[in-house]
Amino acid sequence: MKKTIIAVSLVTLLAACGGSGKKDDGKFSYAAQDMIVNLTDDVIVAGYSNLAMKGSELFQLTETLQATPNADNWKKVQDAWKAARQPWEQGESHIFGPIEALEIDPHLDSWPLNTVDLKAQLDGNASFDAETIKNWENGVQGFHAMEYLLFGDGVDDNEKAFSESTAREREYLKALAEVLRDYTSDLEKAWKDKFKDTNGETPYAERLKNVSSSPTYSSQVGVIEELVQGMAGIAKEVGEAKIAEPFGGSIDNVDTSKVESQYSWNSLIDFANNIKGVKNVWEGEFSGSKDKPGIVDFVKAGDSALADKVTKQINDSIANIEKIAGDNNMPFRQAIKDADGRKRVQTAVDSLAALKASLENEVVPLIKKWDAK
Amino acid sequence: MDVHKNKINISIALAVAMGLAACGGSGSGSGSGSKDDGNGKSYPSYTDVELLGGDTTTTEASNSGHGFSTPAPNLTEAEVKHHEEGDANFETSFITAPSNEHPELDGLGPVFNNINCNACHQRDGRNSTILIPDGEKRVLLGSGAGIFLRISKKPDEVCTKGTKENNYCAPIPVPNFGGQLFHRGILQARPDWEQNNFKGQADVYLSYEYLEVTYDDGTKVKLKKPLFEVENAYDSPANFAASELGQPDVLMGWRNGMPVFGLGLLEAIPESAILDNVDVNDKNNDGISGKANYVFDPVKAMAGDDNPVSLGRFGWKANTPSVRVQSLGALRGDIGITNPLFPDESVKGTDLHEKYLSRTGLLDTGKGPNGEPEVDDKFSDSLVFYSETLAVPARRNVKDPDVREGARLFEQVNCTGCHTPKFVTKADGQIGGKDMSKALKSQTIYPFTDMLLHDMGEDLADGRPDFLADGNEWRTRPLWGIGLTKAVNPRAGFLHDGRAATIEEAILWHGGEAEKSKQDFMSLSKKERQQLVKFVNSL
């Protein structure tokens, strides 16, 4: 009997150290190492590997298009662009580290497009290759420059035909795809293999997983804060900038020039993927995959009701963004000019505001209650 | 029976104690901020301070890369909205004029260093250090560079007092270039643009030379110093010596982007409090002078002030008086976007600009159809307010015994001779010619800077005077938030040209007035040096 008491005491204490649970002082415990390792390797790095693969496929298809220029290969490049966009947008829930330090984000996702120089460049005869383009103005390269070449100006439709493209455009498209392929490969390698910075060459993933020797984070609190603030940041950006700015205060103040991915009409898929990226970090796995530890488990240890609430808010936000298209697959740039569409947009904006508020006002403060060891 | 019971209790107590030890609880650390911890050592009063920015301090983003990017928590709701508008402006990329789709965003350049503020102040911090790829010796500065060169002509004599006649001791611009070398351009910026797409005034290459420092205990530290080579100047592409830029009296110096949080607080430090630390002739014989820079103030000039000169506070040589002048000057200079305070392109009147305008048909004069600048007051004001009101991150690991010991050593080697820990901001008044936010008033802050110029020795010198600052002098960098630098941008470097990869390297570059402190630092044991660095990284 007495031995049992000792055993129970030890179990309780060990649980306090490594398991999860609440304490009398309002603090809660949670063993975060497995979660951090999982989020780093199986969410962030896995997402970047997928992006690098999609970037490589996109480049290969532009090569095929140049070798065999026809409508079928044109369509394949258009589809490959959309496919590469998916992991890119999901990755926006964790924009930190190499994607910023290596200037990859501004090179690949610069907005607005510098159409003046892009058109002048295409109208001229100057030669170019991927390495040269990397040092050019950001507004003539990246996803949106490719999008403009592939889908047209997006005003009346998003169906630029192969016959509307020129050989020089396709040559430029291939060079841009090569730039994209290189940067997405660099991004994957920086996290997985080697991140060369002023302190050494430790892969960036290790800096999250091993904070005791990390030149970047002084504690696991920093890693969790990075992830949660990143989730709140993209929820805010989608709700208050990507959707709200073109949406305007009224139907008379709509500004379609501010719509992201306006040439391809891929906007709603982009926005939904942003919040699916939040969901990946929250859940700890990609949708439909085996359950693994994510931020939800951390929050659950401190406040299970809050965890349930945020889970619902994430799902509501994704669903409400997707519902903006209505029954007739209306693109975002049309929906903001349509009375019923605007109601659906407002519902999505409200969902995102609620999600952002919960993350900023409840989840972020909860980190301070974590009894981090 | 009782004995046996006691044994059991001892076992439980031991198990509990072991369990707590395994959890890492120490029970130590007074956190009282007392001067003496009872160990015979005296700790400076700032040892246990956590909220470095007073009420403007953020504690919710102070452990991660978001630490420089949150609004001060004591802003009003309306101020937060104003701040967020500025946040969007800070990240706004500009494009070539004339844009039909985005006329409000055109006017980039025509020559420039970057296309938005964030590109040089990544996540509101420092820019990435340029590394030399394996197998190469130098790197051409392009779209990934957050560093640039300031340029000027060597003055005939040392300027000690600014007057209207001597242009207030301002740097003398290089004819047909200006005061800043723009290594990038829009597509057709250069007369020879067809051979030099997207090139600026000249090509700038960066390389490094390396040296090694050895402590008495045998520990070695490798240091690097960035060098520049300039070629392909637009006025004489093939023969640099014939370029205005290639003349022997042209001075050049690297400039890195700096963090932009807490700036409103620095501007709100009473001028008298800064001047209290001036000691130009070193009357107290501590080897440290402390000199105020006095600089041209466009805000005063625009208001019609007969003597438009103010105390310099910002920039690597304290060459600008306010956040307003610093940020709107950078908007016009670094990006090429004219604004109400700087309504003319910085390259106006140069051959490059004149030829660009005549060749392209007045595409980017810097003025709109009615003579207005490229961005308006609303855009400019919120951009300035943003940089004035970014929160200061709270300290980390304050109770760590090594950090506390580091604070004592920081004081012992007299880092505080220049890195003045504490100020109280003014209770009222204006900053940058506008009423200051209540959030910035009467705050007790710990920026760890005296805001003054110091001779930092030949190794750091760029030999380029800037108003009253001479070629060896630099303004003391604030240390608050410095420990988050690598979380904000893992490739960031320290000092004006990013040469120092670590705090330790930055210390080892100190010379001149800081030579004694550096020597005292080097005389510490390895453990003590680590403790001091750990304290700095807790800031």
Rounded to 5°, angle at Cα B321 from B260 and B475: 70
CB B260 within 8 A of CB B124: yes
Q: What is the pLDDT of residue B36?
A: 61
Query: Quick check: A112 and B102 CB within 8 A?
Result: yes
Query: Quick check: A117 and B8 CB within 8 A?
Result: no
**Is B103 exposed, middle or buried, given 0-12, 13-18 or 19+ CB atoms closer than 10 A?**
middle
Is B221 part of the contact surface with chain A (CB cutoff 8 Å)?
no
How far is the alpha carbon of A289 from chain B, nearest alpha carbon, in Å?
29
Query: Quick check: B197 and A121 CB within 8 A?
Result: yes
Least Cα distance to A199 among B538, B493, B15 occurs for B493
Chain B's closest residue to A103, CA to CA, is: B144
**Is A334 exposed, middle or buried, given 0-12, 13-18 or 19+ CB atoms closer than 10 A?**
middle
3 state DSSP class of B58: strand
CB atoms under 10 Å from CB of A11, counted, come to: 12
Is B142 part of the contact surface with chain A (CB cutoff 8 Å)?
yes
pLDDT at A71 over 60: yes
Least Cα distance to A220 among A61, A64, A371, A116 occurs for A371
Least Cα distance to B47 among B465, B467, B531, B501 occurs for B531
Alpha carbon distances (Å) from B172 to B150, B168, B188: 11, 11, 28
Contacts of B490 in chain A (CB under 8 A): 97-98, 101, 195, 197, 199, 204, 207, 215-216
Question: Taking all residues of chain B, what is their mean pLDDT, rounded to a whole number?
Answer: 92
The band of A233, judged by pLDDT with boundaries at 50, 70 and 90, is very high
Q: Rounded CA gap, B104 and B255, in Å?
A: 29
CB B264 within 8 A of CB B436: yes
The band of A3, judged by pLDDT with boundaries at 50, 70 and 90, is very low
Q: Rounded CA gap, A296 and A300, in Å?
A: 6
Q: What is the pLDDT of residue A13?
A: 39
Q: Rounded CA gap, B86 and B433, in Å?
A: 18
B423: Cα separation from own chain's centroid: 19
pLDDT tens digits for range B145-189: 999 999 999 999 999 999 999 999 999 999 999 999 999 999 999
pLDDT tens digits for range B241-250: 999 999 999 9
Nearest-CB residue to A120 (from B102, B187, B537)? B187
Least Cα distance to B234 among B72, B393, B344, B111 occurs for B111
Bridge pairing between strands B57-58 and B392-393:
parallel
A96: DSSP letter: -
Taking a contact as any Cβ pair under 8 Å apart, which residues of chain B between 391 and 410 contact chain A? 396-397
Q: Rounded CA gap, B421 and B33, in Å?
A: 15
- The end-to-end CA distance of chain B, in Å, is 57
Contacts of A13 in chain B (CB under 8 A): 15-16, 19-20, 22-23
The ranges assigned to domains in chain B are 42-538
Provide mean pLDDT across the span A343-361.
98
Q: What is the pLDDT of residue B35?
A: 61
Question: Which range among A17-31, A232-246, B83-97 shows the weakest confidence by mean pLDDT?
Answer: A17-31
Taking a contact as any Cβ pair under 8 Å apart, which residues of chain B between 433 and 492 contact chain A? 483, 486-487, 489-492
Contacts of B88 in chain A (CB under 8 A): 241
Q: What is the pLDDT of residue B7?
A: 35
How far is the alpha carbon of A288 from chain B, nearest alpha carbon, in Å?
30
Q: What is the pLDDT of residue A16?
A: 38
Q: Record the tokens describing residue B174, joined without a space.
A: 């290089």
Question: Taking all residues of chain A, what is their mean pLDDT, rounded to a whole number?
Answer: 92
Provide mean pLDDT across the span A273-290.
97
CB B421 within 8 A of CB B448: yes
pLDDT tens digits for range B189-237: 999 999 999 999 999 999 999 999 999 999 999 999 999 999 999 999 9
CB B354 within 8 A of CB B191: no
How far is the alpha carbon of A12 from chain B, nearest alpha carbon, in Å?
9
Q: Record the tokens describing residue B492, joined without a space.
A: 């960031």
Class of the A220-368 domain? mainly alpha
Query: Quick check: A100 and B66 CB within 8 A?
Result: no
Q: What is the pLDDT of residue A170?
A: 97
H/E run at residue A298: helix A295-302
B492: DSSP letter: B
Q: What is the pLDDT of residue B19?
A: 35
Question: Which range among A13-27, A72-86, B122-136 shows the weakest confidence by mean pLDDT?
Answer: A13-27
Nearest-CB residue to B486 (from A113, A196, A215)? A215
Q: What is the pLDDT of residue A20?
A: 66
Give span(s): CATH 1.20.1420.20, chain A.
33-200, 220-368
Nearest-CB residue to A111 (from B19, B93, B142)? B93
The band of B37, judged by pLDDT with boundaries at 50, 70 and 90, is low
pLDDT tens digits for range B438-464: 999 999 999 999 999 999 999 999 999
Query: What would you report as the CA-atom Rg of chain A, rounded to the nearest whole angstrom?
Result: 23
CB atoms under 10 Å from CB of B219, counted, come to: 12
ipTM score: 0.91
Residues 6+ apart with CB under 8 A from A83: A54, A57, A58
CB B508 within 8 A of CB B495: no
CATH number of A33-200: 1.20.1420.20
Per the model's pLDDT, the better-predicted residue between B470 and B20 turns out to be: B470
Nearest-CB residue to B122 (from A6, A100, A222)? A100
Query: Quick check: A137 and B59 CB within 8 A?
Result: no
The band of A363, judged by pLDDT with boundaries at 50, 70 and 90, is very high
3 state DSSP class of A337: coil
3 state DSSP class of A351: helix
Question: Amino acid letter at B245?
Answer: L
Chain A's closest residue to B498, CA to CA, is: A198
3 state DSSP class of B535: helix
pLDDT at B472 over 70: yes
Question: Residue A227: how many CA atoms within 13 Å on its side-chain side?
Answer: 28
Contacts of A2 in chain B (CB under 8 A): 8
Residues above pLDDT 90, as percent of chain B: 88
Rounded to 5°, angle at Cα A124 from A120 and A126: 115
Chain A's closest residue to B187, CA to CA, is: A117
Question: Which range among A120-129, A228-237, B406-415 shows the weakest confidence by mean pLDDT?
Answer: A120-129
Q: Rounded CA gap, B37 and B405, in Å?
A: 11
Chain A's closest residue to B116, CA to CA, is: A106
pLDDT tens digits for range B362-396: 888 888 878 899 999 999 999 999 999 999 999 99
Q: What is the pLDDT of residue B488?
A: 97
